[in-house]
């Protein structure tokens, strides 16, 4: 069908089956900020916000991809590090030749093979982050900085390698922030609105870029960030995208706030009131505020409590940063058991996980990040049947009689009960679960069936004598009865 530039038409676009069933994507934050690869290890961002507030978060920003903004803040840890390491006169733009020298030996096939081994079904690359640096040879170069782009077509090369491995390619673009169009640092939450470029040349610039990316690379995902200029014609962009890529999906971060560029927000009192209001709203949501059309929501470093009808995608780094941060070690990174259990929880509630890697400037993915990806892939090799292609069940979560957390998924006639810890005894009892007399129970990864008995409304399953250590254990029950 043809889509038209109206909300009524755009909202007829269904979330495609491939996206419902993909479950795992890999996010890649790679750019100039990968050269210094530095941010303070201030902790997970919601914890830092709760502890010290927004001003401290921007000054101590643990996101290494925000290096340029942090560098612009007087007295910030990043400013201090930069001065010590590179000297006070070393500008951010001087990272351009260093990055372009570093990427000469990068092999996109290595990434694609790793992501495929991790079990990913799609990949999303940052084509332009907030610093404005481009990872593709655009026909629309930056009007403020000559040569401000990668010397290779990193977008095209990775897209080809990813698709050769049977995965889909999505593209991230920072439409709301571009620090080459604004020299004002983001130091308060209201600055996220006031620093969105609203001038006509930026509106055209971003629109040309999105259309070029769509025409040239046919992305399966449009992943925008931090809003969008208020006067841009997004309905026309979205309609043209769907007409070119009918099974593509659009995220929820294209919000257009009509008052974002208003001079009234420059008033100190108004800024103070708006900052508190926005902070209050953000603290009570797991997803960014949104306006207009989208296919899926994008909570960051968090999840939903229950199954949501609206499709969603949780995004997080393996550490506390999306971009490469040389300061991060095991204590800043999610453990493999935590990663697997979080992933299962997300899937059980109608979500996907977009798990980020932050490569070094030369494309090297740090060993700790590789270990997490390969560990997740190893678990999925045995248990992927309970994840890929599934949909949420009647409810997502329960506990066994022994106190183990359980998450449910379903696929056809099969119900999957995934135990988020290792049972200690020879049996496990799933509470309030009735099954048909002929139900067959398997522990994924083992060939033989498991004995079971119905005890009133509870189902007790006899476990194998030996259970190998695993972050989670998936039981298949077929046929199922609610």
Alpha-carbon distance of 114 to 111, in angstroms, equals: 5
CATH 2.40.50.320, applies to 391-478: no
pLDDT above 70 (res 220): yes
Pairing label, strands 473-478, 414-419: antiparallel
- Cα dihedral: 287, 289, 290, 296 (round 10): 0
pLDDT above 90 (res 480): no
Q: State residue 99 phi and psi, 5-degree precision.
A: -65, -45
- Cα dihedral: 44, 45, 48, 50 (round 10): -110
| β-sheet bridge partners, residue 14 | none
pTM for this entry: 0.94
Find out whether 365 and 357 touch, Cβ atoms under 8 Å.
yes
pLDDT above 60 (res 261): no
Greatest CA separation for the chain: 76
**Mean pLDDT across 452-471:** 94
- H helices within 331-475, ranges in order? 336-348, 367-383
According to CATH, where is 2.60.40.1180 located in the chain? 391-478
**Mean pLDDT across 423-427:** 93
247-258 confidence digits (pLDDT tens): 999 999 999 986
Average pLDDT, the chain: 93
Q: For 165-292, list the strands marked E by DSSP.
A: 168-173, 221-224, 249-250
Superfamily per CATH, domain 7-386: Glycosidases (3.20.20.80)
**Mean pLDDT across 425-429:** 94
| β-sheet bridge partners, residue 89 | none
According to CATH, where is 3.20.20.80 located in the chain? 7-386
């Amino acid at each position: 069908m043809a889509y038209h530039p109206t909300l009524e038409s755009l909202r007829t676009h269904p979330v495609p089956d491939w996206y419902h069933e993909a479950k795992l994507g890999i996010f890649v934050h790679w750019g100039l900020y990968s050269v210094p690869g530095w941010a303070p290890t201030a902790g997970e961002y919601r914890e830092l916000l709760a502890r010290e507030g927004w001003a401290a978060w921007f000054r101590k920003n643990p996101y290494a991809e925000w290096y340029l903004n942090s560098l612009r803040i007087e007295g910030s840890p990043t400013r201090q590090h930069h001065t010590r390491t590179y000297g006070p006169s070393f500008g951010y733009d001087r990272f351009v030749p260093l990055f372009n020298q570093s990427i000469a030996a990068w092999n996109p096939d290595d990434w694609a093979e790793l992501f495929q081994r991790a079990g990913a079904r799609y990949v999303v690359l940052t084509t332009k982050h907030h610093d404005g640096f481009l990872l593709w040879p655009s026909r629309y170069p930056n009007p403020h900085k000559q040569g401000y782009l990668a010397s290779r077509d990193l977008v095209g090369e990775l897209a080809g390698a990813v698709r050769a491995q049977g995965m889909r390619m999505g593209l991230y673009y920072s439409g709301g922030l571009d620090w080459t169009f604004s020299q004002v640092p983001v130091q308060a939450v209201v600055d996220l609105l006031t620093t969105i470029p609203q001038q006509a040349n930026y509106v055209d610039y971003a629109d040309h870029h999105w259309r070029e990316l769509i025409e040239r690379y046919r992305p399966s995902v449009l992943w925008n960030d931090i809003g969008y200029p208020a006067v841009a014609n997004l309905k026309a962009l979205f309609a043209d995208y769907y007409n070119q890529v009918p099974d593509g999906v659009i995220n929820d971060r294209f919000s257009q706030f009509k008052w974002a560029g208003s001079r009234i927000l420059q008033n100190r009192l108004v800024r103070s009131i708006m900052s508190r209001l926005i902070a209050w709203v953000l603290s009570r949501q797991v997803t960014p505020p949104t306006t207009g059309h989208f296919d899926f929501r994008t909570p960051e470093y968090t999840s939903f409590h229950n199954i949501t009808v609206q499709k969603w995608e949780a995004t997080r780094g393996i550490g506390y940063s999306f971009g490469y941060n040389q300061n991060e070690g095991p204590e800043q990174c999610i453990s493999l058991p935590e990663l697997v259990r979080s992933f299962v929880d997300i899937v059980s509630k109608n979500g996907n996980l977009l798990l980020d890697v932050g490569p070094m400037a030369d494309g090297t993915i740090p060993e700790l990040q590789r270990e997490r990806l390969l560990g997740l892939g190893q678990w999925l090799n045995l248990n992927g049947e309970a994840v890929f292609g599934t949909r949420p069940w009647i409810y997502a979560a329960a506990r066994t009689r022994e106190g183990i957390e359980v998450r449910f998924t379903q696929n056809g006639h099969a119900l999957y009960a995934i135990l988020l810890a290792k049972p200690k005894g020879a049996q496990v009892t799933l509470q309030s679960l009735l099954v048909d007399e002929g139900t067959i129970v398997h522990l994924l990864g083992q060939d033989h069936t498991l004995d079971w008995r119905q005890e009133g409304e509870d189902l007790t399953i006899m476990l194998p004598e030996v259970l190998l250590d695993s972050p989670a254990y998936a039981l298949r029950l077929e046929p199922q009865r609610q």
